[in-house]
Amino acid sequence: MCGRIIQSSSPLHLAIVDGLEVSDSRMGNIRPRYNAAPSQELLVIRENRKTSERSLDLIKWGLIPHWFTDPRGGRRPINAKAESVSKLPTFREAYAQRRCIVPIDGFFEWRAIKGARAKQPYAIAMKDGSPFGLAGLWENWRNPNTGEWQRTFCDHNRALQLIGRADPPSNASHLAARDLRALARFRTGSPRSSHYLSV
């Protein structure tokens, strides 16, 4: 799910979690993204496990586990399947300790069309145009060659983990949830819509 993401609202509108203050001046320079791709930096909502303080940060899309030693960073998955996110070594520790919410205005999906070689893209968003969130995981990774730290993330939305502004408890619950199956009960309060895109 989500090979491309739309983050076109201002950071203030993307702060969809209750208790999140966006007063940081650096947020004023962030450009809207209408077709954000893996390896680009996107806004992500994180919660400090010790202080419970929430922040909106720019993080690179494509997860690199903190324990990874290849200086190139490996394959950098952009999605994690809900069925295996708690078991696979790539995601297991981040799932237990470093969850996030990726606030978006929409995302793109591609559908195979019978008899056509190319897949058909669809833009999927809320009917009322409001931002919503995708459940995600984030990591801190230190490049073994340069010593430079890099923050990365992926979403884990195979079980339709769309977190809506109309249901604030689900936003906070993902940051602290113990079991993704329990989170799957939450549904967004605003209907989704998809739009056919011509190529």
For the stretch 41-71, pLDDT in tens is: 999 988 888 887 888 889 999 999 888 888 7
Q: Tell me how far apart the alpha carbons of residues 103 and 125 are, in angstroms, rounded to a whole number.
A: 12
* CATH architecture of residue range(s) 4-196: Alpha-Beta Complex (3.90)
Check residues 147 and 189 and name the one with the higher pLDDT. 147
Task: Give the whole-number percent of the chain exceeding pLDDT 90.
Answer: 15
In the beta sheet, which residues pair with residue 193? 125
pLDDT range class, residue 149, cuts 50, 70, 90: very high
Check residues 119 and 12 and name the one with the higher pLDDT. 119
Encoded tokens for 5: 């993401």
Told to judge if 93 belongs to the known catalytic residues of this protein, a careful annotator would answer no
pLDDT range class, residue 112, cuts 50, 70, 90: confident
Q: Tell me how far apart the alpha carbons of residues 36 and 18 are, in angstroms, rounded to a whole number.
A: 25
Q: Is the pLDDT of residue 16 over 90?
A: no
pLDDT range class, residue 176, cuts 50, 70, 90: low
pTM: 0.77
Q: Which residues contact 105 (CB under 8 A, 6 or more apart)?
A: 6, 7, 8, 9, 125, 129, 131
Task: Specify the pLDDT at position 25.
Answer: 53
| Catalytic, out of 2, 47, 139, 154 | 2
Told to judge if 109 belongs to the known catalytic residues of this protein, a careful annotator would answer yes
Task: Specify the pLDDT at position 113.
Answer: 83
Q: Is the pLDDT of residue 168 over 50?
A: no
Domain assignments of the chain as residue spans, ordered by start? 4-196
| Catalytic, out of 21, 109, 139, 148 | 109
Q: Residue 185: which region, alpha, beta or left (left: phi > 0; alpha: psi -120 to 50)?
A: alpha
Three-state secondary structure string covering the chain: CCCEEEECCCHHHHCCCCCCCCCCHHHHHCCCEEEECCCCEEEEEEECCCCCCEEEEEEEECCCCCCCCCCCCCCCCCECCCCCCCCCHHHHHHHHHCEEEEEECEEEEEECCCCCCCCEEEEEEECCCCCEEEEEEEEEEECCCCCCEEEEEEECCCCCCEEECCCHHHHHHHHHCCCHHHHCCCCCCCCEEEEECCC
Mean pLDDT of the residues in the chain: 76
Closest to 97 in 3D by CA, of 86, 111, 105:
86
